[in-house]
Amino acid sequence: MATRMVCRAAVLLFGAAAAVKRAPGAGREARVAAEAADQIRGVAEAAFRRDPVQREIGVAQKVPGRDEALAQDLRARRPPEFRLEVPREPKRRHSDLHFAPGGRESGSETRMFHDAECAARFLDVWRRIAARFCGNADVIYGYDLVNEPVQRREALPGCDGWTLQRRAAEAIREIDPETPVIVESNLLDHPETYGTMSPLDLANVIYEVHVYNPVDFTHQGVGGPYEPKSYPDVRRGWDKDFLRRVLAPVRAFEERHGAKIYVGEFSAIAWADGADKWLADAISLFDEYGWDWTYHAFREWSGWSVEHEGHDAKHMVPSSDNPRRRALLDGLKGGADSESSFPTAGEKAGQAVPASR
């Protein structure tokens, strides 16, 4: 059975790290999560000082100059409502390298694929993280090597998106043989790129995919004016069968290689008409396929939050109940007593259910 998670314990590797609320009885899990945030933030700020990035709804952009001033400004503008809730019962944490060394170039191209120094920093970061957290595979769901890589141009030798992730995974395995390694596919971890994806010849590998299709629906009004669109839409062919076709390359990869699939992000913007139906259809497919999944995002930006509602980004208000929240909670109920399908887990699947605000 699949593991359902609302809160991806992502560590944003420049300018901010997830704040950890220590809950009574959390014990070692709380300490590991807290130390992970502090340790990875320290590594990031030391290694990435040359190339600060800007956090805009999960997209990292290279910003030249003003290094220290910009870093301070990013920390000051961290959304105050963003918290990583450490539950009372033992749960597992997903560590996500959200911003790669060097950030992104034009067209969202991941810079480290074309910069040997950034690539070396990337490998060093994962060696240091693995050395610090080796032995916590029962707490850490996986090391997510790089968030939404993009490579459209020819990379440096040994630094293309797949090879650099393989090198990082091998470096981790020399230090930590047990904690799963999470690999993402090209073009922002798009489902379609799994048609040309190759598996790693390593044990305990999880393959992550992000699902935001159709983007014209899920991201309408993100960053500017928009024409309202609905789901389902018979005229446009947007329905559950459409989503099934979108996921077909991932499903084929899974069946061809016996791979474990994890949906690391999926969402539809709060003001999209039918966002709840889109969530319900997506979750239904993930569960049908037995995939682990994490909703994006828990107490991050209000546009994705199921604890807010409104007709655009400027008019979001707290909401204790709404159709999207109910759709997500309905999906979570299906995993309350299920066990993780990952062979090394051997524990009950965890949930971090969003509380009303």
The CATH number of whichever domain residue 321 belongs to comes to: 3.20.20.80
Inside any domain, residue 193: yes
What single letter denotes the amino acid at residue 344? T
Phi, psi (deg, nearest 5) at residue 13:
-90, 40
Distance CA 312, CA 272 (A): 9
Inside any domain, residue 349: no
Say which range, 18-22, 61-65, 110-114, 255-259, has the weakest mean pLDDT. Answer: 18-22
Domain limits for position 326: 4-333
Inside any domain, residue 340: no
Inside any domain, residue 347: no
Torsional sign, CA 193, 197, 208, 174: negative
pLDDT at residue 143 tops 80:
yes
Domain count, the chain: 1
Inside any domain, residue 343: no
Inside any domain, residue 179: yes
3-class DSSP state of 91: coil
Beta bridge partner(s), residue 183: 207
Tell me the HSE value of 242 on the side-chain side, using a 13 A CA sphere. Answer: 16
What are the tens digits of pLDDT across the range 264-322?
Answer: 999 999 999 999 999 999 999 999 999 999 999 988 899 999 999 999 999 999 999 99
> How does residue 84 score in pLDDT terms, banded at 50, 70 and 90?
very low
pTM value? Answer: 0.74
CA angle 23, 29, 31 (to 5 degrees): 80
Predicted confidence at residue 319, as pLDDT, reads: 95
Inside any domain, residue 284: yes
83/331: higher pLDDT: 331
Inside any domain, residue 338: no
pLDDT at residue 36 tops 50:
no
